[in-house]
């Protein structure tokens, strides 16, 4: 039923949809200025959408639209993070797209529709709603990767992403259909009640659970469903890579919590073992293979795989503290990744992509401020105190220790130490190697200010992590 409460709960999504259609019309009617108008309207849309969520935080929460949509602490936090981070993503991307003749209104249309899909995923409380949001987000991301049509690498990346993504979506849909078959419902709350009764066939339920975990693992980029991630990160234009590497991970985290914790939390012992294998494999492979990379974007791709493993650790614990630790990790990971790829874009210019690690040789001599910003980000990703990456890893490892999975915790700590090598290598190149070319930074001043603020935020969250951690804890109380 479309009652007033339903409409008020979904007001940010309705506003996003309306404005995405408006931007689409602007692209069609204004050929010359369509991209600039689309950029301005897109930024305004995201600001207003974030405000609409923020003003209702702490207010009425619950289910709407026949229990297919939920507004709670988790959805509010994730939506605000998605909107704010995407504001920075679009700001970083603008000059990059202009310099490569990719500055088109269609990019902003797809960005808004992808953001709408992420927002729907954050509030989905029904299998069909979740799948609708996932496909809306995914189809936009496939098209964004392929926007640079004259690039063989971008086209190859888009094809790999599309084919493997379609396969993973099929797996997820198959798992949902199996669970529907044994529970007679697609509502997450109804599925949870059916599982709690203990009267359904656990063998068939476990079979469906396997396919759900495969779908979630692919969207997160966990081993062994990570094959697409390094190629897409490297092959796609950096602006598109930045978009893919940040907020979609928050949407995938929401999907994991909704499906596994809220829907199938009663059979935690079934999916816990699967997630342990995914987490350990991701942490080990991500950190080890990243050492051999010479391309910055590909190195960050394998870094992402290892970070996904750490995010899974908190969920494995099955405790409210563990879930809060994973949410804290997911939020801080996106901020760190936003800064890392933002600095790559700042260092790039027309005809020059600062993608190789060697491109950062002598950066401290040429641009000491940006070398310092990159140092902060790399140290944080490596988990070196007092930066926020350290507290994120500490939170999820503590959650694992609390449930006495000591061996998993030891592997995580050891691989963190090993993984620090490739982050420190970037710092060594910047501060101890001699510059081979004198690269100039011609990024707009607003982008330089925002990327600097982004890196300083990483430092600030490390020095004062308490407020964000408390917010994450309150979400799962």
pLDDT of 458 > 80? The answer is yes
pLDDT at 120: 94
Q: Which of 304, 207, 312 is nearest to 253 (CA)?
A: 312
pLDDT value, residue 91: 92
List, as one string, the DSSP characters of 411-466: HHHHHHHHHHHHHHHHHHHHHHSPPSS-------HHHHHHHHHHHHHHHHHHHS-H
Q: What is the pLDDT of residues 283-299, one digit of tens each?
A: 999 999 999 998 999 99
pLDDT over threshold 60, residue 467: yes
What is the per-residue pLDDT for 256? 93
Which residue did the predictor score with more confidence, 88 or 439?
Answer: 88
pLDDT at 3 over 70: no
| Res. 5: pLDDT tops 70 | no
Mean pLDDT of the chain: 89
pLDDT in tens, 164-204: 999 999 999 999 999 999 988 899 999 989 888 877 877 88
Mean pLDDT of all residues in 316-341: 93
Mean pLDDT of 84-101: 90
Residue 32 has pLDDT above 80, yes or no: no
CA distance 132 to 357: 39
CA–CA dist 157, 233 (Å, integer): 8
Q: Please choose, from the candidates 219, 195, 242, 266, the residue with its C-alpha nearest in 3D space to the C-alpha of residue 121.
A: 219
Reported pTM: 0.94
- Count the neighbouring beta carbons within 10 Å of the beta carbon of residue 295: 17
CB atoms inside a 10 Å sphere around CB 105: 24
Q: Are 215 and 274 in contact (CB under 8 A)?
A: no
Contact 68, 1 (CB under 8 A): no
- Whether residue 271 is predicted with pLDDT greater than 80 in this model: the reply is yes
| Domain extent at residue 412 | 4-475
| pLDDT of 2 above 60 | no
Our count of domains for the chain comes to 1
CA angle (238, 43, 465) in 5-degree steps: 75
Q: How confident is the model over 82-88, as a mean pLDDT?
A: 95
């Amino acid at each position: 039923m479309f009652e007033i409460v339903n409409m008020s709960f979904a007001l940010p999504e309705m506003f996003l949809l309306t404005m995405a259609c408006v931007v689409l019309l602007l692209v069609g009617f204004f050929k010359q200025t369509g991209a600039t108008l689309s950029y301005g309207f897109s930024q305004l849309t995201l600001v207003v959408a974030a405000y609409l969520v923020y003003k209702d935080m702490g207010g009425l929460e619950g289910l709407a639209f026949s229990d297919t949509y939920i507004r709670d602490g988790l959805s509010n936090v994730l939506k605000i993070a998605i909107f704010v981070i995407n504001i920075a993503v679009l700001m970083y991307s603008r000059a990059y797209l202009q310099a490569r003749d990719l500055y088109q209104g269609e990019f902003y249309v797809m960005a808004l529709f992808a953001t709408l899909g992420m927002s729907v995923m954050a509030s989905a409380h029904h299998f069909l709603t979740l799948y609708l949001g996932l496909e809306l987000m995914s189809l936009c991301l496939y098209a964004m990767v392929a926007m640079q049509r004259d690039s063989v690498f971008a086209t190859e990346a888009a094809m790999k992403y599309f084919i493997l993504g379609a396969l993973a979506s099929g797996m997820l849909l198959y798992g949902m259909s199996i669970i529907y078959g044994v529970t007679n419902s697609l509502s997450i709350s109804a599925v949870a009640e059916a599982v709690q009764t203990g009267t359904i066939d656990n063998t068939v339920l476990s079979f469906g659970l396997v396919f759900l975990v495969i779908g979630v693992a692919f969207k997160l980029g966990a081993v062994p469903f990570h094959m697409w991630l390094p190629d897409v990160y490297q092959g796609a234009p950096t602006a598109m890579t930045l978009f893919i590497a940040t907020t979609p991970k928050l949407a995938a985290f929401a999907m994991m919590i909704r499906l596994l914790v809220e829907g199938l939390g009663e059979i935690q012992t079934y999916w816990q073992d699967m997630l342990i294998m995914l987490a350990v494999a991701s942490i080990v492979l991500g950190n080890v293979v990243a050492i051999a990379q010479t391309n910055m974007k590909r190195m960050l791709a394998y870094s992402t795989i290892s970070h996904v493993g750490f995010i899974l650790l908190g969920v494995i614990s099955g405790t409210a503290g563990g879930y809060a630790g994973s949410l804290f990790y997911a939020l801080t990971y996106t901020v760190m990744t936003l800064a890392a790829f933002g600095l790559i874009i700042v260092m790039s210019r027309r005809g020059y992509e600062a993608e190789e690690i060697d491109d950062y040789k002598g950066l401290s001599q040429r641009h000491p401020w940006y070398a310092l910003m990159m140092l902060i980000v790399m140290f944080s990703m490596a988990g070196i105190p007092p930066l926020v990456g350290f507290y994120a890893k500490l939170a999820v490892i503590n959650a694992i220790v609390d449930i006495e999975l000591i061996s998993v915790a030891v592997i995580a700590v050891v691989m963190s130490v090993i993984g620090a090598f490739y982050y420190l290598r970037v710092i060594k190149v910047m501060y101890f190697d001699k510059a081979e070319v004198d690269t100039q930074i011609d990024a707009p001043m607003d982008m330089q200010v925002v990327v600097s603020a982004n890196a300083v935020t990483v430092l600030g969250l490390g020095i004062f992590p308490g407020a964000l951690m408390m917010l994450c804890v309150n979400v799962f109380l």
